[in-house]
Structure 1
Amino acid sequence: MNILDKIVARKKIEVAQQQDYTSIEKLKTYDFFKKEVPSLKSYLHDDKHNGIISEFKRSSPSKGVINSLSTVEQVIPLYEKAGVSGISVLTDSEFFGGNKSDLVVARKVSTVPVLRKDFMIADYQIYEAKAIGASAILLIAAILSHNQALQMSQLAKDLGLDILMEVHNKEELDIVNPMVDVVGVNNRNLKTFEVSLQQSIDLAAAMPSDVVKISESGIYSVEDILLLRQHGFRGFLIGENFMRTKNPGQACIDFSESIKQKA
């Protein structure tokens, strides 16, 4: 069993337990459930923002502890100040050290779109994402069937959420449906955790022309951004590059300024 299989197996248990604790009807009473949220797709199309989706991530299975000291309140406002197009918040606890309260706080201290970064396997998690203030959800093609992806996409649209569909190879593009707003290529192989930007470059031409393309993982330099832009990518999900520093928010600001100077 690889790490992705382990995460999904654990996630099934978590979701069942959470649903017993908080029903969907209860989630519908939360304040955020009734509020409109900014669109990730719209922000990625808006040239006033730099295309970066900056991530708040404490740890990962491949890297261990990345940053255990920085808080959402410290980091997220500076991410917004940097002109990012979106903010990604890990809500998986066991493998990534995140939690749903991180996303709630991120929504409260920022006005930009917030992506719930988790392993979504059930409708319940989409209701939950809406209830805690997410603008968008992540659907990972590698762990969903075509029908599952369709069903979850429709629910997300019904709830006013954007959809980021993550793929790793050309075959997974078959799961992308017309409701998907953003297609992201994860440059990290979820089975081996090796990273290469070539993965995005190789898939760029095969991706649907009518969706926003983003590249995820392994982006460390302005040159990486400029290269990916040449291949049609409008968005760039970056977490570890910022979170490994003592001041992730300032690191994002400095990186954004460098993009302006070299673009």
Structure 2
Amino acid sequence: MNILDKIAARKREEVEILKEEVPVETLQMLPHFKRKCFSLKENLKKSKTGIISEFKRRSPSHPEINLGADVAEVTKAYEAAGACGISVLTDEDFFGGSLDDLAVARETVKLPLLRKDFIIDEYQLIEAKAMGADVILLIAAMLKPKQVEQFSKKAKALGLEVLLEVHNEEELKNNIFDTIDMIGVNNRNLKTFEVNLQTSKDLAEKIPGQYVKISESGISDTTAILELQKSGFQGFLIGGNFMKTEDPGKSASEFINELKSRSK
């Protein structure tokens, strides 16, 4: 059983409990449920940097990234730094996040927010909208194509944008749907945790042109982004590289400013 299998099993248990504790009808009454979402896709299309800064405290491969980080402080600083959007980890067991983190971020910033979690049930989409997300993540390695199609349709009906995450050509080919907005290539091998940016470069030309391309994981310098931009990538999800520092917002600001100066 790999890490995704473990996460999926735990997530199924978690969602069943939540459905009992917080029914869909309750979520639909929350103020953000009727809010018009901000567009990450459009932000990335018009940006020269395309940085999506991520808030996370830990991960299975790095159990202590920044356990004491304050979500309001960090997300506010990310916005000031010039990020196009912010990814917020809401998985508690494996990443130390929570839906409260998403809610606080929504009250703090006006940027598009990606709910970074492991979606295995439509309930989580309603939950994401109700708590202030603008974008949801669907991980091809965890879902069957029929589920990707089903969940992406439901997300669009709720007004959410959809980021599909793939790791290889097979996952990409099996999940091309009109209800996907952005395709993210995860450079991390989820079985070995090894990271290789070549994964993004190899898949770039195989991603149809209507999708905004995002490269995820293992991006630690501006040279990597300049190279990935040549392959057509417009978005770059960066978490650990910022969060592992004492001041993630300052780290993001310095990174984005360097990228801007090199992009001229």
TM over 0.5: yes
The secondary structure found in structure 2 opposite 1:163 is: strand
CA contact (8 A) 1:165 1:180 kept: yes
**1:78-135: CA deviations, max 9, x gaps?**
1111111110000000000000000001111101100000000000000000000000
Check if 1:21 corresponds to 2:16: no
- Say if 2:129 is the partner of 1:125: no
Residues in 2 aligned to 1:260 and 1:191: alpha-carbon distance in whole angstroms: 35
Q: Which residue of 1 aligns with 2:189?
A: 189
CA distance in 2, matches of 1:127, 1:176: 23
Amino acid at match of 1:139: L
Provide the C-alpha distance between the structure 2 equivalents of 1:155 and 1:40, rounded to a whole number of angstroms: 18
Higher alpha-carbon deviation: 121-130 or 71-80 = 71-80
Aligned to 1:200: 200
Q: Structure 2-normalised TM-score? A: 0.98
Q: Is the 8 A contact 1:165 1:176 kept in 2?
A: no
Q: Secondary structure at the match of 1:223?
A: helix
Residue 239 of structure 1 corresponds to 239
1:59 Cα offset (Å) = 0.2
Distance 2:230 2:103 in 1: 35
User: What is the percent sequence identity of the aligned residues?
Assistant: 53
Matches of 1:58 and 1:254 in 2, distance apart? 21
SS in structure 1 of the partner of residue 94 of structure 2: coil
Partner SS, residue 175 of structure 1: coil
User: How far has the Cα of 1:201 moved from its partner?
Assistant: 0.4
Equivalent residue, structure 2, for 1:50: 49
Residue identity opposite 1:187 in structure 2? N
Which residue type is aligned with residue 230 of structure 1? K
Q: How many residues align?
A: 262
The equivalent residue for 2:177 is 177
Which residue does 1:64 correspond to in 2?
63
Contact 1:70–1:247 (CA<8 Å) still a contact in 2? no
User: Unaligned stretches of 5+ in structure 1?
Assistant: none
- 3-state SS of the aligned residue for 2:208? coil
Correspondence for 1:168: 167
AA paired with 1:148?
Answer: Q
After superposition, the C-alpha distances for 1:24-81 in whole angstroms (9 at most, x for unaligned) are 111000010011120111111123x620110000000011110012201111111111
Question: Which residue identity is paired with 2:182?
Answer: V
Runs of 4+ in 1 over 6 A off after TM superposition: none
Structure 1 Cα separation of the partners of residues 72 and 113 of structure 2: 14
Q: Distance in 2 between matches of 1:176 and 1:66?
A: 34
After superposition, where does 1:134-173 map in structure 2 within 5 Å? 134-173=133-172
Structure-2 separation of matches of 1:56 and 1:33: 22
Deviation at 1:238, TM superposition (A): 0.1
Q: Does 1:37 align with 2:22?
A: no
Unpaired runs of at least 5, structure 2: none
Q: CA RMSD in A?
A: 0.8
